[in-house]
Structure 1
């Protein structure tokens, strides 16, 4: 059949897609009969092509892999040591972040051949953050809790600086960092679930011989493994792992319409029930939580939309999500201003006011960019720019709350 359709490229492609294995098996016989055919020569290269360049990059024991292994071990050891002091209540639990994030940043710095000034900036900011965190009193007053909540966002920004390296000002590199976060989350979750299954199986096996190893296993294996897996997942995503890259666009497309429908139903129900975020503090907190979820889903949907200039139904879903988020933020912002004017200034109210203003401005920018895109006035890159160019603002606000609120309000 291959020889019969040698002058029919469409039919050859159809045969190949119908049964690739049978096609390859039959092709060798056709190739023996027609070795001078230019068409079969092209198909021969297609079926037997092997990458011969940069083979050192695909080696399992390559230099990058060994460096990742060292960092993973160091992350596991550091996390175990830090956890010991956390148990003694000598330091805050948030210090565990310094057992993982600096090592992920170190891998990015190594992988990107980053300039010295960026490396020095990262090292200095990580050091200042660690020292400052441990200068805070270990208590649970509002300003300290706000510092604990905002410091991870600032550290996330530092990891982003390490990821972007010398190209920290480029929107495309920042967009790649957002995609990395989603792919990392999916891969790490899968590895963590596998690890939990292994842990449960191990403890069950030891329980059969009347040995309770739960406490020992958590302290010395689970904790070490969780930290080391974070570095390993970083390496795997950076190595262009196809699984995570192939699944993330589908997750974005599945969750966007689901979140939109769910929130519309929820908001209608809230109106009918008569909940008031102006008077109900707990409901206002829930309202802000919803806002953050919608913002996260929208941003990841935009990052996974690619650079295709053709509009589709998901662009309109994303735009609807942005409008919905803007409505939620406007209501939350009004409620916060009302509470500030009625009950006075507190660290919590001021922090929530600031983050809502920042999100509101970002949503306005994204919405206007999306409107121009849907009206064929600009390309999709302007929408992505509205996301990526604003990222440092979140990190700067997190730094402001972390480093000034405990000083101002204490």
Structure 2
């Protein structure tokens, strides 16, 4: 290995450790690497070899001593561990910003107050369709604060929320109409990508940063489920205890717990992912390996059910509408599982059995998607267009493009024709398409179908 290649390998290993263990926020890694390279360059000019310059530069990183110390402990066989195992600065805490936990709790309480105020002052229909506009800004504020985003950057992130709020509340929706429900479902999808822009500190064009956000999303969902289960169990025990004492506390749950707990948990779960990401990253590969084969079996069962329904009725027109909706939801689940599996995989690893299972999953989803498209197009030709049919058709076309190219790249990777980086890049570059489609649905579908 030549000197430059060896140095790049050392820097890549250092960067991978910093990024993978989340000792610092991902938005700072580029700046740290640039600083590290600058130190190496200066030391090389002073006459040190590249290896010596790397060792000394890591030691001189100052605020990165904690990172270097942890890296050295992890790799105790490294010679340069002796250069970075220095005592922590006891005065370092005095230079830190206000307690992150305090900020998180303040945002969680504020989100709960906003929802409670909305429940008191807004009509129920308006509150339901505007919930994402009321709650998700608090996640944006948390990440913007954590990533030290500039005021203009934060103001830019506010624009989509303001525009979405105007659309959802200015459009003359029929109460309970299809277009109102469609807009309410797709608004949080679009705004979640705005949360992603805040999560990556505004650097949305970086595929690596987008992958970090995908990983965060999966881990955030895991924590939300855990918090929901734990909170539900605690509420059940509390209610049961008070019921045994003939004390009615149902009013308390309705007036205070329900407005505060779910939205507060969203912010707290985000903080937990940030604080404990190294732990949950060990769970991520396990989750994907458990649920991938189960999802494959589910897809094959649904494919068989669809075929049986078609054979028995001799027409896709008679296939149960609820089955089509269920299959759409499962395809979305498959996409989420695929993205999470990609985010949890070592990009430098060789193809293995699990990669083959992933391709089986993608191909099975692709087959189901094609059947869905045939059924939807047949229904549209026979019965005409509706808002629900157009949205479902568009979603399946978006998924078809994604899954088709993902299958092609996955097969090439398994056969050794391309690296796993190509699979990652395709998914990350395609991610904004879902946000664009959701925005189009929210803005264009309601007036196109008369807001009914």
Q: By the TM > 0.5 criterion, same fold? A: yes
Judging changes above 3 Å, is the alpha-carbon distance between structure 1 residues 359 and 230 closer, same or farther for their aligned structure 2 residues?
same
**What corresponds to 1:129 in structure 2?**
164
Q: 2:358 aligns with which of 303, 313, 318?
A: 318
**What corresponds to 1:6 in structure 2?**
none
- Deviations for 1:362-409, whole angstroms, at most 9, x for unmatched residues? 112211211221121221111111111111110111001101111121
The 8 Å contact of residues 82 and 95 in structure 1, kept in 2 or not, is answered as: no
Shift in Å, 1:178? 0.9
Q: 1:83 aligns with which of 84, 98, 119?
A: 119
- Deviations for 1:129-151, whole angstroms, at most 9, x for unmatched residues? 12221223361222222111211
SS of the equivalent of 1:100 reads helix
Separation in 2, partners of 1:400, 1:325: 25
For 1:3-152, list aligned pairs within 5 A.
Answer: 52=88, 56=92, 62-85=98-121, 88-89=123-124, 91-136=126-171, 137=173, 139-152=175-188
Q: 2:340 aligns with which of 283, 297, 300?
A: 300
| 1:362 equivalenced with 2:406 (yes/no) | no
Shift in Å, 1:312? 0.8
**What corresponds to 2:37 in structure 1?**
none
Q: Which moved more, 1:212-221 or 1:104-113?
A: 212-221
**What corresponds to 1:205 in structure 2?**
241
SS of the equivalent of 2:126 reads coil
| 1:288 equivalenced with 2:328 (yes/no) | yes
**What corresponds to 1:4 in structure 2?**
none
The 8 Å contact of residues 164 and 174 in structure 1, kept in 2 or not, is answered as: yes
**What corresponds to 1:22 in structure 2?**
none
Judging changes above 3 Å, is the alpha-carbon distance between structure 1 residues 329 and 318 closer, same or farther for their aligned structure 2 residues?
same
Separation in 1, partners of 2:326, 2:286: 28
Q: Across the two proteins, how many residue pairs are aligned to each other? A: 367
Judging changes above 3 Å, is the alpha-carbon distance between structure 1 residues 373 and 203 closer, same or farther for their aligned structure 2 residues?
same
The 8 Å contact of residues 92 and 138 in structure 1, kept in 2 or not, is answered as: no
SS of the equivalent of 2:202 reads helix
Shift in Å, 1:267? 2.3
Shift in Å, 1:55? 7.5
Q: TM-score, normalised by structure 1?
A: 0.82
Judging changes above 3 Å, is the alpha-carbon distance between structure 1 residues 390 and 51 closer, same or farther for their aligned structure 2 residues?
farther
Q: Can you give the 5+ residue segments of structure 1 that lack an aligned partner in the other structure?
A: 1-39
SS of the equivalent of 2:201 reads helix
Judging changes above 3 Å, is the alpha-carbon distance between structure 1 residues 272 and 212 closer, same or farther for their aligned structure 2 residues?
same
Shift in Å, 1:278? 4.0
CA RMSD, aligned part only?
A: 2.8
Q: Can you give the 5+ residue segments of structure 2 that lack an aligned partner in the other structure?
A: 1-75
The 8 Å contact of residues 125 and 175 in structure 2, kept in 1 or not, is answered as: no
**What corresponds to 2:263 in structure 1?**
227
Judging changes above 3 Å, is the alpha-carbon distance between structure 1 residues 283 and 55 closer, same or farther for their aligned structure 2 residues?
farther
**What corresponds to 1:21 in structure 2?**
none
**What corresponds to 2:425 in structure 1?**
385
- Deviations for 1:106-143, whole angstroms, at most 9, x for unmatched residues? 11111112244432221111112122212233612222
Separation in 2, partners of 1:269, 1:145: 28
Separation in 2, partners of 1:184, 1:261: 26
Judging changes above 3 Å, is the alpha-carbon distance between structure 1 residues 227 and 92 closer, same or farther for their aligned structure 2 residues?
closer
Q: 1:279 aligns with which of 318, 336, 360?
A: 318
Instruction: List 4+ stretches of structure 1 deviating above 6 A.
Output: 40-43, 57-61
Judging changes above 3 Å, is the alpha-carbon distance between structure 1 residues 319 and 218 closer, same or farther for their aligned structure 2 residues?
same
Shift in Å, 1:354? 1.1
